[in-house]
Amino acid sequence: MSSTDYDAIVVGAGWAGMYSAYKLRNAGLTVLGIEKGSDVGGTWYWNRYPGARCDIPSVNYSFSFSEEIWGNWNWSERYAAQPEIERYAHFVADRLDIRSAFTFDAEVTGAVYDESNRCWRVPTSSSDGQHVYTSKYLILATGPYSKPVHPAIEGLSSFTGEMYLSSQWPREAVDYTDKRIGVIGTGSSGMQVVTQIGTHESFDELFAFQRTPNYALPAGNRPLSEDDMREVKRGYPEFWDKVRTSGSGTLCEVPVGPIKDLTDEELFELMDQLWKIGGPAILNGISDLVLDEESNRRVAAYLHADIRRRVKDPDLAEKLCAKTHFIGSRRHLNEDHYFELFNYDNVYLVDIAEDPIVRVVETGVELESGRLIELDMIVLATGFDSGTGALLAIDPVGRDGVALSEKWQDGHNSYLGVATQGFPNMFMTAAPGSPSIRANVLVSIEQQVDWLSEFVASIESAAGDEVEVAAPAEELWTKHVADTVNSTLIARDDTQYVGANVPGKPRVYLAYIGGVNVYRIICESVAEDRYPGFRVL
Ligand code: N01
């Protein structure tokens, strides 16, 4: 192998990129991190829209590997908001001294595997010009939600007011005063934007353009005191042991079991108790929720009843009830006041399933009925090309000149979601085929990066030049990922998790839903057996 600029290039300075760079550097490798933004944070660097907040409990949405980090950081709320999470990312970066490994404001524009020299050539673009770096290993820590979807709505560019994409929110303060604001999209991001502006900002009128109603669970957010954090930290090691052996990587699961045989009264009593606990994982303990249609429908009926209690206008309440998909097939909102907002006389739901958007014009949004909703500001909270989007934007070219987009034209495949055959020495984090987007992504990332860095260290100590997935291992894993989700209800719905929100995207489920605990055991056994499924030369 010829000499390279670096042993490893890590793309992205989110959680996975920072931790990968840290672990590989500690393993004695020379590392260059490349990040498009001006600082660390990844998702939490870009998604600074009003109301952006984590829906996993803060004490659980944290790194566990370093006592120095968790011992010196205190969260201020049960669910931290974006500014605090971004501060945490900076804190982590400082403690790991990781910025020194990265070049910022530089975009990776491709990656090509040089077979004869067994290295990756990685072109970048920045204000300093174009550079091509070479490395033995390429780690794509590009994040599952980093390529936004720009909706195909006619006339968007003709709008003369302010327009913002939720995931590319400006760093400067936005003024909502006396403005007529339209939010398009009612997924987690759109509902958070509507809740924040509707509750905390002064505005003239607020319109939520809803194509598909979404489920929501009570957050029960509250401040965390120093005493709360002291208490958490006292039990942190045991806490993390439990987290690692949990299915979702979060520790607010209340084991309930199947609800199939409960009477309606028993079920409503149980749901009332779960509601009081709050949090996004209160339903995780219902073991037949995503396995049994009737159980799923009965829980949905409780959620609908909750909305009907909170929204005064019965017709409006009906429009807000999610009925077209199973609970669990989309990410539900973790909310405190979303539905009540529609009781105000200047907050409106625009049901665009009933009266679709035809076009955006200079002054606002025109609907099929001919109605023109005049606006001063449009917020597009229209989602992401999830899972594969950022990887395919780089579109690495592997062995025999085959691009990833070519290999994945009928759907992604990989071994363990960390590597794909034909792309030697290339690893991915939080990628399709791993638990990532259907789990506590931070717990999942920490486990994957620990595993990957040990694997790379073992290749280095064996003086290996090239590592590649073997085709049979990839086929088996891809089948296992599909079989696992196909045995549930959630693969049936058209969601971003199957790529349904991006025209032409192959319909393949984007995550391994067997649980972070099961995935960890599988990865550990692969390591113990000296990595069968990989070929090291
Ligand atoms: O995106 P989404 P998101 N015209 O795809 C609508 C994570 N996240 O950014 O459902 C009109 O869920 C679309 O309508 P429909 C989380 O993992 C986490 O909200 O296709 N509407 C939908 O309502 C989540 O899963 C947090 O009918 C259009 C919305 O836009 C992931 O990010 C917070 C449209 C897109 O919803 C993505 O969530 C926020 C069009 N042309 C996000 N195109 C946490 O709390 C799309 N829509 C951690």
pLDDT of res. 232: 94
Q: Going by DSSP bridges, is the β-strand pair 377-380/180-184 parallel, antiparallel, or unpaired? A: parallel
Question: Does the model's ipTM exceed the 0.85 cut?
Answer: yes
User: Ligand 1 centroid to 149 CA: how many Å?
Assistant: 9
CB–CB of 164/49 below 8 Å? yes
Interior/surface letters 315-324, b for 16+ CB within 10 angstroms, e for the rest: ebbebbbbee
CB–CB of 83/259 below 8 Å? no
Rounded to 5°, angle at Cα 335 from 330 and 341: 115
pLDDT per residue over 50-79, tens digit each? 999 999 999 999 999 999 999 999 999 999
Q: What is the distance between the terminal CA atoms of the chain, rounded to a whole angstrom?
A: 11
Q: Which residues line ligand 1 (CB under 6 A)?
A: 53-55, 145, 151, 153, 184-190, 192, 211-212, 331, 352, 357, 381-384, 437, 496, 501
Q: Going by DSSP bridges, is the β-strand pair 467-469/534-536 parallel, antiparallel, or unpaired? A: antiparallel
Q: Minimal CA–CA distance to 168: which of 420, 23, 480, 384?
A: 384
Q: Minimal CA–CA distance to 145: which of 326, 329, 391?
A: 391
pLDDT of res. 251: 80
pLDDT of res. 242: 92
Q: Minimal CA–CA distance to 400: which of 423, 420, 419?
A: 423
Give bridge partners of residue 163 from the DSSP assignment: 378
User: Ligand 1 centroid to 125 CA: how many Å?
Assistant: 30
User: Ligand 1 centroid to 507 CA: how many Å?
Assistant: 17
Residues 6+ apart with CB under 8 A from 529: none
User: Ligand 1 centroid to 69 CA: how many Å?
Assistant: 32
Q: Minimal CA–CA distance to 183: which of 330, 318, 347, 46?
A: 347
Query: Given the CA of residue 497, which atom of ligand 1 is nearest to it?
Result: 25
SS3 for 201-240 is: CCCCEEEEEECCCCCEEECCCCECCHHHHHHHHHCHHHHH
pLDDT of res. 107: 98
pLDDT of res. 2: 58
Please state, in angstroms and rounded to a whole number, the distance separating the CA atoms of residues 461 and 456: 9
Ligand 1: residue whose CA is nearest its atom 8: 188
Rounded to 5°, angle at Cα 355 from 350 and 360: 75
Query: Given the CA of residue 501, which atom of ligand 1 is nearest to it?
Result: 20
Please state, in angstroms and rounded to a whole number, the distance separating the CA atoms of residues 49 and 164: 9
The tens-digit pLDDT sequence of the chain (537 residues) is: 558 999 999 999 999 999 999 999 999 999 999 999 999 999 999 999 999 999 999 999 999 999 999 999 999 999 999 999 999 999 999 999 999 999 999 999 999 999 999 999 999 999 999 999 999 999 999 999 999 999 999 999 999 999 999 999 999 999 999 999 999 999 999 999 999 999 989 999 999 999 999 999 999 999 999 999 999 999 999 999 999 999 999 886 678 899 999 999 999 999 999 999 998 888 888 999 999 999 999 999 999 999 999 999 999 999 999 999 999 999 989 998 999 999 999 999 999 999 999 999 999 999 999 999 999 999 999 999 999 999 999 999 999 999 999 999 999 999 999 999 999 999 999 999 999 999 999 999 999 999 999 999 999 999 999 999 999 999 999 999 999 999 999 999 999 999 999 999 999 999 999 999 999 999 999 999 999 999 999
Question: In this structure, which long-range contacts are made by residues 274-279, counting pairs with CB atoms below 8 Å and at least 24 apart in sequence?
Answer: 275/218, 275/306, 276/220, 277/220, 277/252, 278/217, 278/218, 278/219, 278/220, 279/57, 279/217, 279/218, 279/219, 279/220, 279/252, 279/334
Question: In this structure, which long-range contacts are made by residues 355-363, counting pairs with CB atoms below 8 Å and at least 24 apart in sequence?
Answer: 356/211, 357/153, 357/184, 357/209, 358/154, 359/153, 359/154, 359/155, 360/153, 360/154, 360/155, 360/156, 360/158, 360/159, 361/155, 361/158, 361/159, 362/158, 362/159, 362/160, 363/159, 363/160, 363/161
Q: Which of 193, 501, 505, 510 to mutate to test the pocket of ligand 1 (most atoms within 8 A of CB)?
A: 501
- Whole-Å CA distances, 417 to 12, 244, 260: 17, 18, 34
Token pair, residue 336, equals 């405190």
CB–CB of 287/485 below 8 Å? no
User: Ligand 1 centroid to 513 CA: how many Å?
Assistant: 20
Q: Going by DSSP bridges, is the β-strand pair 347-351/205-210 parallel, antiparallel, or unpaired? A: parallel
User: Ligand 1 centroid to 369 CA: how many Å?
Assistant: 25
pLDDT of res. 255: 81
Please report, as a single letter, which amino acid is at residue 1: M
pLDDT of res. 254: 79
Q: Minimal CA–CA distance to 190: which of 338, 377, 362, 352?
A: 338
pLDDT of res. 281: 81
